[in-house]
Amino acid sequence: MATYSPQVLARSFSPNSMRRLAATAVACLAALLFIAVVAMVARSNSQRDEALVREQHSYDIIVLTNGLDASLARAEAALGHYVINSDRRTGTIFNDEWVRAEGQLRRLGQITIDQPEQAALVRHLNRLFAARRQEVGSAAAFANVGKGWYAIGMFNRVGESPNVREIANTLAKITANARARLDARSAATSFSVERSNSFATLLSVLGLALVALAILLGWMAAAAANQRRNATDLAEAESERATLLELAVADRTQALRDANDQLRLEAETRLRAEAQLAQSQKMEAVGLLTGGIAHDFNNMLAVIVGGLELARRKLAQGSPDTDAHLASAMEGADRAAALTRRLLSFSRSEPLLPDSVSPGELVRGMSDLLDRTLGERIAVSVTVKGETWPIWADAHQLENAILNLAVNARDAMDGVGRLAMVVANARIKTGDAGQAPPGDYVRIDVTDTGCGMSPDVMARAFEPFFTTKPVGKGTGLGLSQIFGLVRQLGGDVTIASRIGTGTTISLFLPRDTTHAGATPARQSRGLNAANTVAPDIAGLSIVLVEDDPRVHASMLAALGELGHHVKGCTNAEHAIELLASGGHTDLLLTDVMMAGMTGPELVERVHHAYPDIAILFVTGYVGEAGTSDQFVGHEVLRKPFTIAALNAAIQKTVKRRPAPPEIRAA
């Protein structure tokens, strides 16, 4: 055991030694207190910074949500301008704003992924956004192909879509949640800042205490100076490191900017290439369509010219075969007229004349026509399930569409097989596939046993100008004409097909509920077909308005042949003067497309001044001269027509007049 001398013990417990020990203890305590306060200040600052980051995150969600709402508003506003004026620049603005909205929606999904409630709302918003994209895409698609009126109508309908209100409500919920978090985080930030200030104040007080202690403990000055130098060196090192980090961030930012510019340039190049490819494909399709139409018209003209030439020769020879050649020429002319009507229907230049139609009776009434058209080697069956609802449609156009489907089915079966038509009521519910809204429909199925369609062909079956037939075997109008008609009536078309099994094309036509009290009209092949009704009205006083000299002369001769008294006019203004000059008039027979005042405009003026005069429109092309509403209540005779068809149209027009004047029986 070690022993210490009294001198050593005396030195150990001397006053100077005790002061040094006390000063050392006080310095250690002060240092420990200083370290503790510094640690608390650092932790408080860290918590304050985290609170500020969380507060900024909530603020970013609010700003991004408001930006997404604004982008959607600008996109739909641009779409509205686009469908009205068809200006491609507004279409580009619509596309840019929509792409910006998609990017904002993706960013919103990224920054809310750690918030389950917000993430669920964003997923719901994605679904609403996808549905909204399909709705406005329909209006944009119609505008892209030049269907301005339909695009405006579609735009008005999608503007009333419940998705608009649901999107706004969802954005409001996201914003409300973010604001609630922002308020809570703002309070937390304020608390962190106050606590950081308190610790800073405490640190200041401790600094003053250390200064006082430094005055008392001068021997700590050297250590404090050395510590100060170390702190300065560390600060300089950190400053240099921060400068290097800023330079690295700037270099990286410039690299990202260059990469973004390169991507934008590549995107623009790709868009130009896609536009050129689309234009090339469109011109190729137009070439195929033109070739098919030219081939069909040349064949028909060959029949007409050959038949007339042979009839003229046989007539000069006194041969009894003249009628046969004239009948052949008339058949060629009828085929040419039918092709022209198909072209007008495809281009939506032939007006729809809707009426309440019984689809079951319409399809049943086509049995004989289908048998004659498809041939004996096609077995046709027609099934009408129960009492079908009436539909509001143009019977002539709908019958042409069904006949077109039957002819396509015959070609798919190479002229041999079975064709089944089924008419039944159908209800479309919310969530069912297709573009038709929920409601009551009449479904018309046309099923064949042909070669079927591949998925690629089904995907393009309704595209304008698309055809799988070789050059010279068709015009390429096909299903796109039917698709346009059914969509114009507010319905939908679906295809179900398998290679080697056959194809079923279903037409969904909306139920007519606005004319429930009316008797559905029976289907009619129109006034241009052969008519067996014997003429029972003659000697009518007729005003004829036709601006084409050759058609004018031909119709004057035909009306005279039917025994009517005709006054001819070459324009609408002359017709108004002729009616105002006095004299009795039974019927106004007018062309539709004329220079100056059109036929519908003439009828609108005449109808108010002379309500007892019957009106008969004669047209080969309507174009922009009239709308379907202007033809409602009047008969329409489509060019070209026979004398029998003209006579039948006159009889029907005069007989449907509300208060016909005295006329002379034949």
Say if residues 509 and 358 touch (Cβ distance below 8 Å): no
Instruction: Name the band, by pLDDT with cuts 50, 70 and 90, for residue 359.
Output: very high
Token digits of residue 186: 């703002």
How high is the pLDDT of residue 441? 93
- Ranked by mean pLDDT, the top range of 248-257, 299-308, 470-479 is 248-257
Q: Mapped to the 3 state alphabet, what secondary structure does 124-141 carry?
A: HHHHHHHHHHHHHHHHHH
Of 525, 524, 520, the C-alpha closest to 387 is: 520
Residue partners of 291: CB distance under 8 A and separation at least 6 = 471, 472
CATH of domain 353-510: 3.30.565.10
Give the confidence band of 481 by pLDDT, cuts at 50, 70, 90: confident
Tell the CATH topology of 541-655: Rossmann fold (3.40.50)
Q: What is the helix (H) or strand (E) element at residue 504, kind and residue range? A: strand 502-510
List the single range of 174-178, 502-506, 662-666 with lowest mean pLDDT: 662-666
For the chain, the C-alpha Rg in angstroms (whole number) is 43
| CA 175 – CA 169 distance, rounded (Å) | 10
pLDDT class of 476 with cuts at 50, 70, 90: very low
DSSP 534: P
Structure tokens that stand for 478 in this block: 């096909």
Place of tokens 């009047």: 634
pTM, two decimals, is 0.41
pLDDT single digits (tens) 210-251:
777 768 777 666 776 777 888 888 888 988 889 999 899 998
Residue with token string 């109808």: 607
The answer to whether the Cα torsion of 373, 375, 376, 382 is positive or negative is negative
Q: Both tokens of residue 594?
A: 């004329």
- Establish whether the linkage from the previous residue to 640 is cis, with ω within 30° of 0: yes
With a cut of 70, say whether residue 424 has pLDDT above it: yes
Token pair recorded at residue 350: 């032939």
